């Protein structure tokens, strides 16, 4: 059984066909992927609640924490995503492509499309300036196989 180290994993944001790494990422997580179901119980059914699949999958979200430096290009790109979404009043979709490249020898990748971006900055006396970013997936991420 292989155990993969996390050090060396790279999270990148696409600009056209070029991916720009986001520097100083401290941690990341991908969660909330699940097949959707609906309550299919009927009045003449059994006592157990039955569920059936809808055929849809909730794509979930990716979150990551980083040491924040507003002067870094990747961090500025995230600022721009939030700002452009705020300024986007013409109703056009503002989706972005992202990629996580894991630190194994095969450089295993996971790609995703984000429809929404959450961003917050925090500071503590005992730590550096930090930021937290949440990407709401549009569709399903392409998981490594």
**Residue with token string 């157990």:** 48
Residue 121 falls within a domain, yes or no? yes
What are the φ/ψ torsions at residue 116 (nearest 5 degrees)?
-140, 150
pTM, two decimal places: 0.84
Q: Rounded to a whole number, what is the distance in angstroms from the first to the last CA of the chain?
A: 15
Q: Are 103 and 5 in contact (CB under 8 A)?
A: yes
User: Is 3 a domain residue?
Assistant: no
84 occurs within a structural domain = yes
**Number of independent structural domains in the chain:** 1
Is the residue at 144 inside a domain? no
**Position 38 in a domain:** no
Instruction: Note the pLDDT of residue 116.
Output: 87
d(CA 88, CA 90): 6
Owning domain of residue 115: 15-33+51-137
Name residues of the chain where pLDDT drops below 70: 1, 85-93
Tokens representing 55 are 């055929």
CA distance 112 to 141: 4
In a domain, 126, yes or no: yes
């Amino acid at each position: 059984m292989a155990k993969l180290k996390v050090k060396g994993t790279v999270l990148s944001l696409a600009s056209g066909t070029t991916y720009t790494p986001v520097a100083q990422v401290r941690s990341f997580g991908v969660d909330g992927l699940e097949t959707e179901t609906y309550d299919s119980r009927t009045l003449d059914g059994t006592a157990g609640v039955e569920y059936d699949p809808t055929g849809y999958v909730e794509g979930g979200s990716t979150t990551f924490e980083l040491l924040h430096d507003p002067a870094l290009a990747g961090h500025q790109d995230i600022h721009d995503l939030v700002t452009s979404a705020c300024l986007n009043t013409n109703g056009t979709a503002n989706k972005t492509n992202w990629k996580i490249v894991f630190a194994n020898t095969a450089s295993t990748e996971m790609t995703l499309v984000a429809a929404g971006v959450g961003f917050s900055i925090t500071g503590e006396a005992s730590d550096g300036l930090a930021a937290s970013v949440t990407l709401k997936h549009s569709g399903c991420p392409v998981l490594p196989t």
